[in-house]
Structures are given as C-alpha cells and as structure tokens.
Structure 1
Amino acid sequence: MILTPVPLPDLPTVLDAFDDALADAPTAQAAFRRIAATLALVRDGNLELSQDPDHHAQAVEFARGFGMAILDEPPTAGYTWDGHALRVRMEPSVIVHDVAHLQVCAPERRTAPDFGLGAGPETGLRTEADAAMSVFGVERELEESLASLLGILWEAELEQPAICAFLEQNWLEGGASAHNRRHFVKIVDHLAAHGFLTADGRPTRALREAPDAQFLATLAAA
C-alpha cells in the first residue's frame, strides 16, 4: 500500500530529484534509472500494479525458469510458496517478487513455507506460515527490502512497469531525503556485494549460498 501517493504529473520531478541525490552512487543510480525508465510503460496514466495477462504469463514463465513449480490457485488456498510450488493467481509483480525471495533467502529456507518469513499478505494458511517463521525483526525487514528491490529490478529487466511496484512498496516515501537515499543505496550495495546485481544495476540469476548466520553477520559488518 502506498503511504503517500505521488500524483502522476508530479512524478517526473520526484524521480529527477531522487536521481540527482544518487549522483555519487553510480550502481544505485544506474539501478534507479532502469526503474524510472519504465514510467514510459505505464498505460493510461494508471500507476496500479499491472494486471496485464501477457505480463502475468511472462512472470509465470520467469518463476518456472528458477525451478519453481506452479499452482494455478490464489495464495488464499494455502501458502503463497509452499516450499515447492508458487500459487500464481496474483499480480505479475507479486510473482516476480516471490522469485526474488527465492534468490535472497537462505538455502535452508528455500523449501520452507513462505521462505520462513511468516505469512505473505494473501497467504491462506497464516497461522501455519507464521509458525514456520525463522527470521525475525530487523533481519526479516532487511530481507524483505532486498527481495523488494531485486524483484522491482527484475520487472524492469522484463520490460514491465516496475515503477508501479517501486511506488507501491514505498521506495519513494520521503523522496530524495538523506534517509531515503541512504536506505536505497544500502540495499543496492548489499545486492551488488552478494552477486544479485551487476555494476550497472542489472539483476542476475544468482541464488544465495550463505546460511542465515553467516549472511546476517556479513550484512551487520557492512
């Protein structure tokens, strides 16, 4: 949910200001520019997440390409990700986001319901998913941020309107403020340092290899 909606006529100015704030962070700026460029893909001024059937089919094939089995059901029918299969009656952006979760989660959690992060927003088996949670607090929020931005960058790579998810997931909340800039750069730097992004801000197909204890220690030391 967008906390502070940005009217479409104001968006180019907001994007330009954030771009300027990233002038001394070339990888972050390159990643941001890939996202911002997808404003040209927004149809009829609609900044809601895409419901396009072609985008959905593309997202499903993208998930299959990472070895995720597919269930043509809504997440409310069980888990969003049951450790083997992804329920895909949801927006294309959310499917791509869950592929990013598969990439950034610990190897031991790839087969856990909802990646061991607790119930997703539409998960039906909420109590069971929360019971399987094994990452909490700040560490959980950090992993959510990594998956969020990586998924958005995959949307840009797939030529889908990534800017909509960028807004919906509140990456522009606070605009070009020092705090918002710092958070964006930190997440980009973590993704790049662990092989999920190239130096020019493009996503890779890397899967995290480090277990939670090692990975979180690396992030804390950064």
Structure 2
Amino acid sequence: MILTPIAPQALDLVLAAFERTLSGAPLEISVFRRIAASRAAEGGPVAVWHADAVALADRFAMRPLPEAPQQAFSWDGARVRTDSEPAVLVHEVAHYQIAAPSRRFLPDFGLGAGPETGLVEIADAARAADAATRETEEAMASLLGILWEVELGQPAILAFQEQNWLEGAGRPGTAAFFRATLGRLADAGLIDGDGRPTYAVRIAPEL
C-alpha cells in the first residue's frame, strides 16, 4: 500500500529528487535509472508478464501450482501458487532466494502469514524468524523482486512506488536505505557487480 500516493504529473520530480540523493554512488544511480526507465513498459501484456514470472519460479524449482494463495499459502514449503499478479509471484521468487536455508522450505518461508495467505494461523505457527529479520528480508525481497521485474521487461516502477521506496524521496535516509538494501543483496551474492539479479540462493544462516 502506498503511504503517500504520487500524482502521475509529479512522478518525474520525485524520481529526480531521489536520484539527486544518490550523488556519488554510480552503481546505485545505474540501478535506480533502470527501475525508473521501466515506466516504458506500463500498459504492456500482463499475460506474458505472468508467464515469465511462472517460468522464473520454475527456474528455481519452486514447482508452480495454478491456484490462488488464498487457498493455502503463496509458498507452502514445496510449491508456489501462481494465481496472483506477476509482481507478487516474482516477489515470492525473491523470498525463496533470500530465505535462510533453515526456513526455505517452511510455509511463507517461516516469516509468518503474508498478505495473500489463506491459512493464516498455520503460517503464523510456522514462524521461525524474529521481527527484525522479517523486516530486513521483506525489504530485500521487495528490491530483489523489483530488479527481477526490470530484467523481465515489466513495469518495476509500479512496485517501487507501491512498496514505498519513493516515500521521502529527496531525504538522505531514503537513499541510504536503498543503498544499504542493495549492499545486503550484493553481500549475499543475489545481485552481480552491475546490480542485476543472479540465480543464486542464500547459503548463509540467519542474518
């Protein structure tokens, strides 16, 4: 949910304000510009985007299942349910990559029920991460999913707005959070030297 909606006519100004705070950070600027440029994909073929998201999940052996997450879980520990928006499915792939090995095969990655989970009580009972870990991983999965959308030719800028990366654009703290999250993804080997997502999965234990 967007905390502060951005009017379409104001988006250019907001993006420019965000980029200014990345001055002196060429990698971060390059990554941000790719996200901003994804605006050109808006209005494109959603069915194709969804098929590409399913293929990405299959690439990670997440065994895509054509059901709605509300019937059980987005990720039940063995299969990912795909009857959701492409961006939501790509976000689940990112969570799979980021999850600690001890939680990768738990419902909802041991983070507790997600917003689309149907079996909320079961997902919450399987929670195996503290609040700080959950917050960190949600930020990492958000940004990694956005970067996958860029690579798949999808309008990643929409998720970038919806997941509030532009909230407070122009403030040093907003840019610092973006840089720090990119750094965590790089440290985990989940993005390459150009800031593009890799097909790696995390092998380290809890953050």
Q: Which TM-score bucket, shorter chain as reference? A: over 0.9
1:30 maps onto 2:30 in alignment: yes
2:77 to 56, 80, 83: 83
User: How many residues were matched structurally?
Assistant: 207
2:129 to 123, 132, 135: 135
Q: Quote the Cα distance in structure 2 between the aligned partners of 1:176 and 1:209.
A: 35
2:166 to 164, 169, 172: 172
Show the 5 A alignment for 1:115-126: 115-126=109-120
Structure 1 segments, 4+ long, off by >4 Å, are none
Question: Could you report, residue by residue, the CA deviation over 1:174-212 in whole angstroms, capped at 9, with x for unpaired residues?
Answer: 112111111111101111122111222111111100111
SS at match of 2:80: strand
Q: Quote the Cα distance in structure 2 between the aligned partners of 1:76 and 1:209.
A: 30
Identity of aligned residues (%): 51
Amino acid of the residue matched to residue 81 of structure 1? W
Q: 1:55, 1:92 within 8 Å by CA — same for their partners in 2?
A: yes
2:68 to 46, 71, 74: 74
2:205 to 184, 208, 211: 211
Of 172-181 and 20-29, the range deviating more from structure 2 = 20-29
Normalising by the residue count of structure 2, what TM-score does the alignment of the two structures yield?
0.96
CA RMSD after TM alignment = 1.2
SS at match of 1:70: coil
2:20: which partner in 1?
A: 20
Q: 1:51, 1:92 within 8 Å by CA — same for their partners in 2?
A: no
| 1:10 to partner: Cα distance | 0.9
1:155 maps onto 2:149 in alignment: yes
Q: Quote the Cα distance in structure 2 between the aligned partners of 1:211 and 1:131.
A: 21
SS at match of 1:13: helix
2:49: which partner in 1?
A: 55
